[in-house]
Structure 1
């Protein structure tokens, strides 16, 4: 059995579908379905069972039997970068992940978990090293702190443990995220509703819409997770991006190109984001490449039209 926490969420549900594509359906999804709309992400997936996140934590902490487990793929978290209730975020993101790690280590079960590129703050270097890390919000801090908790333990853990620092992920099954959904998702909606895309004016030395991020399609994120399952001797903390920063203008042009119409409007940069906005991110992919991952990643010119096709087919 595979356990996917956050399995009804964006990346988690795509991982479930990735396992299904391999013929794997013996999957326990762990999630919080207070927002029941997330169930739609699993409507076309095949799983064996579902458990609420709090009940699942109680079961593992009580030592209750779960059965043979092939791997735990931990994607569940409070991912809202605007959440400042530190007690809540640390319980859901930090303490929960520590409990899962302890259980996996005790049972010699591979443990893959979602970290985040947000640990790097404003950058400018995006390399898996302490000197590059300076989180700017509670979400980022909770991810950063678990990575720090793990680092000194890695050498003494026999089973696989891999933390994946996702950069700007976009793609199918993120519609429930609302304002936290990707720019590609919002661009699709804006083009359909008004035929006009809204991008920020220049900031931090970048021209209008020229702020640059490392945008990665969720299919590539799934591929990295599956590759790690195929390579259980690989452990560590790894960036998961394309290794190439692309501008918001490039994402916008890819969306407009697929829709065949639309224009860009530049809006004033919000005061509340000044000093807290990543105007540039670009994953240093050296560690994952050195570990043996050699698959190429989709640029936005390929990934965004692919996503637009999926959105059109699933409206």
Structure 2
């Protein structure tokens, strides 16, 4: 059995799809369907069982088994960067993941979990998987950072694979339920369909209008990285999961406009509440991922946006 927490969410559901493409459906999905619309992410996929996240962790805490488990892909978390209830975030992201980690280690089960590029904060210290680069600036980022810190001394003596993947700006299918937290590609597409204009922030931090840079990575690439580690259980560590190439928001908007065959860009004032709390530049250092043996090339913004909008056109 494969266990995917957050399996009805964005990256989790795409991981389930990745296994289905391999003909694997012995999958336990763990999620929290308060937002029942997330079921659409699973309606075309095949899984063996479903558990609510609270029931799942209760069974984990009780030391219960789920039969033979090949691997756990832990994608579930409170992912709202605007959540400042630190007790809530640490319980759901840090303590929950620690409990799952120890359950996996006691049973020699590989754990591949979602870390985040948010641990790098504003990015002024770089984007390499080292302590010197890590400066989280919100509770979500801190919870991810602190779990990475918890994992690091365990790696040399681990009984089974432990992999943390620091996702950068992920976009692609099955993110519609995220609302305001969905990718800019998703929002630009809807804006162009509704108004004919993609709205981008005006310049800030020395960047021209729409020229702030992010490492935009298609979710299919993130799935490929997850499955590569599944295929290589002898590989452990904390790794960036991005393309390694920063691109301006303008390029994403242009790719969306090109696909739609219409539209233009409108620049709006940069919000005051985001000043000094915004990443104007992110770019994954993928040297460590390459060194460990992952060689597949990542999709460009142009290719990735086209693939995504083709999927949206077919699936709604």
TM-score (normalised: structure 1): 0.99
TM-superposed CA distance for 1:240, in Å, is: 0.2
Q: Measure the CA separation in 2 of the matches of 1:49 and 1:153.
A: 31
Work out the CA distance in 2 between the residues paired with 1:254 and 1:9: 25
Cα distance in 1, alignment partners of residues 160 and 14 from structure 2: 24
1:101 aligned partner: 101
Take 2:146 and 2:92, find their aligned partners in 1: how far apart are those partners?
13
Whether 1:73 and 2:73 are equivalent positions in the alignment is: yes
The residue aligned with 1:166 is 167
Runs of 4+ in structure 1 deviating by more than 3 angstroms, as ranges, are: none
Distance 2:64 2:200 in 1: 51
- Tell me how far 1:307 sits from its aligned partner: 0.6
User: Which secondary structure state, in structure 1, belongs to the residue aligned with residue 119 of structure 2?
Assistant: helix
What is the DSSP-based 3-state SS (H/G/I as helix, E as strand, rest coil) of the residue aligned with 1:198?
Answer: strand
Matches for 1:234-245 after TM superposition, within 5 Å: 234-245=235-246
Give the Cα separation in 1 of the matches to 2:85 and 2:37: 24
User: Which secondary structure state, in structure 1, belongs to the residue aligned with residue 294 of structure 2?
Assistant: coil
**Map 1:47-62 → 2, pairs under 5 A:** 47-62=47-62
- 1:165-216 per-position Cα deviation (integer Å, ceiling 9, x unaligned): 0000000000000000000000110011001011011011100000000000
Aligned to 2:298: 297
Q: Secondary structure at the match of 1:283?
A: coil
- Cα deviation, 1:241-279, whole Å, max 9, x if unaligned, reads 000000000000000000000000111111100000000
Residues 227-238 of structure 1 mapped to structure 2, 5 A cutoff: 227-238=228-239
SS at match of 2:170: strand
Q: Distance in 1 between matches of 2:157 and 2:287?
A: 24
Q: 1:19 & 1:105 partners in 2: Cα distance?
A: 23
Cα distance between partner residues in 1 of 2:197 and 2:63: 55
Structure 2 CA distance, aligned partners of 1:305 and 1:188? 11
**Alignment correspondent of 1:310:** 311
Q: Is structure 2 residue 177 aligned with structure 1 residue 176?
A: yes
Q: CA RMSD in A?
A: 0.5
Q: Could you tell me which residue of structure 1 aligns to residue 257 of structure 2?
A: 256
How many residue pairs get aligned? The number is 315
Rounded to whole Å, the distance in 1 between the matches of 2:286 and 2:293 is 11
- Cα deviation for residue 158 of structure 1 reads 2.5
Ranges in structure 1 where 5+ consecutive residues have no aligned partner: none
Number of the residue aligned with 2:151: 150
Partner of 1:192: 193
1:71 Cα offset (Å): 0.1
C-alpha distance in 1, partners of 2:200/2:53? 37
**TM-superposed deviation, 1:65:** 2.4
Question: Is the partner of 1:173 in helix, strand or coil?
Answer: coil
- Give how far 1:313 is off: 1.1
Instruction: Give the whole-Å Cα distance in 1 for the aligned partners of 2:22 and 2:55.
Output: 28
How far residue 120 of structure 1 moved from its aligned partner, in angstroms, is 0.1
Q: State TM-score, norm by structure 2.
A: 0.99
